[in-house]
């Protein structure tokens, strides 16, 4: 008998530079021993420095990809990344809302990708409201970085205490657990993330790795959480393990071309 491994699904855009999006997610799933499946939402022409172009997929083909995966490779956990348009957000939310009982115990991680590291807009304005109204209420966890969390709550976040308040407000508004990522927080020697699920609050901290500029850390972190959920970790444990995973992939990053790239096959040190 061959060993059976869990399946995870990523619904996201591609990154032709290989550092973020679908490519980062599948590498992360593989590193954790999870079989990765995908539903492509957009093709992007990008590298670690800039996004040259975005070509969204039609909502029909996005839906068909999800349907194909669920027919033969039902995922134990799912993540969404770059969804880009209102039509794509709608079809993804409708699929999970209307596909019961197969998605009755849905483990859905929503990474609300809005702006690329280089500053390109990756979520259209109309899609944001659809994401807030239709997709976040279905999520197990949402993983905004500071700029995304500021958009979700409508105010600036400048400290770890304000991150805690933001996490609680996002949970109250949308009913899902939240991980507010503090990598953009200025003046802190540590990279601090705040997790809150309505009962448990965690402050997850790791020393910043200076002089390394990486690409795709948000995608990799949310994919790692999804991978650990597929491996049947409880949500707080999955988030904690994923924080360790991303911290060490950054610390052990390698050079590719002119840039540093995350090492998803790093040796984890506990």
**Torsions phi, psi of 228, nearest 5?**
-65, -35
Q: Which among 41, 80, 217, 226 is annotated as catalytic?
A: 217
Q: Which residues of 138-166 are buried (b: 16+ CB within 10 A; e: fewer)?
A: bbbbbbbbbebbbbbbeeebeebebbbbb
Share of the chain above pLDDT 90, in %: 69
Distances, alpha carbon 145 to alpha carbons 3, 130, 230, 234, in Å: 37, 19, 23, 22
Cα separation, 215 vs 29, whole angstroms: 17
Number of neighbouring beta carbons within 10 Å of residue 230: 26
Average model confidence (pLDDT) for the chain? 90
Q: Which among 219, 241, 260, 264 is annotated as catalytic?
A: 219
pLDDT value, residue 234: 97
Q: What domains are defined for the chain?
A: 7-261 (3.40.1190.20)
| Helix or strand (DSSP H, E) at 165 | helix 160-174
Q: What is the pLDDT of residues 186-238, one digit of tens each?
A: 666 678 999 999 999 999 988 777 666 777 889 999 999 999 999 999 999 99
Give the pTM: 0.93
**Burial of residue 125, with CB atoms counted within 10 A of its CB: 0-12 exposed, 13-18 middle, 19 or more buried:** exposed
Q: Which among 44, 80, 103, 214 is annotated as catalytic?
A: 214
Q: What is the pLDDT of residues 64-96, one digit of tens each?
A: 999 999 999 999 999 999 999 999 999 999 999
Look up 67 and say whether it is catalytic: no
pLDDT value, residue 142: 98
Higher pLDDT, 254 or 224: 224
- Do the Cβ atoms of 27 and 264 come closer than 8 Å? yes
Token digits for 126? 């109309």
CA angle 180/255/32 to nearest 5° reads: 50
Check whether the bond before 101 is cis (ω within 30° of 0).
yes
Q: How far is CA 260 from the centre of its chain?
A: 20
Q: Which among 13, 18, 81, 216 is annotated as catalytic?
A: 216
Number of neighbouring beta carbons within 10 Å of residue 12: 29
Q: Which among 19, 218, 220, 226 is annotated as catalytic?
A: 218
* pLDDT range class, residue 133, cuts 50, 70, 90: very high
Q: What is the mean pLDDT of residues 96-111?
A: 79
Look up 218 and say whether it is catalytic: yes
Cα separation, 32 vs 207, whole angstroms: 23
- Whether the predicted pLDDT of 251 surpasses 90: no
Look up 214 and say whether it is catalytic: yes
């Amino acid at each position: 008998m061959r060993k059976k491994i869990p399946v995870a699904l990523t619904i996201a855009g591609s990154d032709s530079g290989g550092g973020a999006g679908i490519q980062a997610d599948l590498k992360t799933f593989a590193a954790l021993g999870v079989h990765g499946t995908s539903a492509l939402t957009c093709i992007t022409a990008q590298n670690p420095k800039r996004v040259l172009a975005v070509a969204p997929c039609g909502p029909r083909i996005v839906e068909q990809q999800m349907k194909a995966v669920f027919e033969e490779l039902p995922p134990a956990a799912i993540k969404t990344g770059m969804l880009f348009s209102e039509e794509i957000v709608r079809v993804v939310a409708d699929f999970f809302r209307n596909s019961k009982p197969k998605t009755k115990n849905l483990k859905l991680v929503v990474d609300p990708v809005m702006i690329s590291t280089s500053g390109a807009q990756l979520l259209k304005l109309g899609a944001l409201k659809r994401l807030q109204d239709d997709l976040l209420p279905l999520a197990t966890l949402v993983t905004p970085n500071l700029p995304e969390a500021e958009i979700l709550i409508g105010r600036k976040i400048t400290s770890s205490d304000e991150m805690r308040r933001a996490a609680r407000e996002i949970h109250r508004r949308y009913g899902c657990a939240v991980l507010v990522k503090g990598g953009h927080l200025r003046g802190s020697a540590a990279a601090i993330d705040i997790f809150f699920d309505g009962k448990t609050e965690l402050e997850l901290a790791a020393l910043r790795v200076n002089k390394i500029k990486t690409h795709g850390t948000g995608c990799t972190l949310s994919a790692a959480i999804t991978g650990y959920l597929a491996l049947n970790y409880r949500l707080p444990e999955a988030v904690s393990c994923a924080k360790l995973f991303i911290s060490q992939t950054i610390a052990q990053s390698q050079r590719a071309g002119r840039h540093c790239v995350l090492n998803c096959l790093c040796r984890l040190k506990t």
